[in-house]
Amino acid sequence: MWGREQQGGEEAVFVRAGDLVGPGYEVVECRGRRAEWNREFGTLRVLGPPGPEGEGQGVYQLAVLVFFQRHLECGFVVRVLVDAGDGEVFVDLVPPPTVGEEERKVEDAVLNSLRAQAKGMWERPGRFAVEKTVVKAGKTMTVTKVVDVVNPEAVGVEGEEDGEHAPKTQETGEVEVQSLRAAVLFVEKWETEYRRVVHATAERKKKGVVALEMSSMLYAGA
């Protein structure tokens, strides 16, 4: 256990993904502040949003995980976000990049493309529309907020401006607003093609503990 440091408290993310472990998916890469992945217990330990000066200052990218099935050469990316103010957790499942048949002939082409995708997402998280639960006049309601997600490693870096880390559309140069995805669909190639759908939820159990629950279903045909 690292304990609490001035740069941020420890966060433990418990990954429960039994439906994926059976078909042979595993975490092959994780990105976070001082990330440590324990394969035996399915636990990721990272440093949370910077504190105390960083507390209450927006939504931070907590971790980015790459799930990969080596035999089938397919996978996807999961990223976990956390609000530094109230500790609320969000999860986003990201479809794998397209890798052509010719590119697949190169060893580890698919895995390398997923790792490059995860690296880009960690370094430049982007702008998101997130749903937050708020209480107004004694009533609980859900509101949608547009936030620039922060890469915690970039906090305090000279020249880092709000929105600088958010991707812009090529046509207009405007910052692209992304939606969080609780599910991802991709192809598994066995004797024939199958479609796997993965669903995920992230919930804070207590201070410093996040549960990432994942399940999947396999469908035949297109």
Structural tokens at position 141: 């309601």
pLDDT tens-place string over residues 150-192: 998 877 544 444 455 555 555 556 789 999 999 999 999 888 8
**pTM summary value:** 0.84
Task: Answer yes or no: are the C-beta atoms of 212 and 91 closer than 8 Å.
Answer: yes
Quick: pLDDT tens for 133-146: 778 888 888 889 89
Q: Would you call the peptide bond into 52 cis, given omega within 30 degrees of 0 as the criterion?
A: yes
Q: What is the pLDDT of residues 59-68, one digit of tens each?
A: 999 999 999 9
d(CA 183, CA 216): 9
* Amino acid identity, position 80: V
CATH 2.60.270 fits 10-124+181-217, yes or no: yes
Q: Please give the Cα distance from 76 to 181 (Å, whole number).
A: 12
Residue type, 163: G
- By percentage, how much of the chain surpasses pLDDT 70? 85
| Cβ atoms of residues 212 and 13 within 8 Å | yes
Instruction: For 117-134, write each residue's pLDDT tens digit.
Output: 999 999 999 999 998 877
- On whether the CB atoms of residues 128 and 81 are closer than 8 A, the answer is yes
Residue 28 is encoded by which pair of tokens? 């092959």
Paired tokens of 17: 């993904």
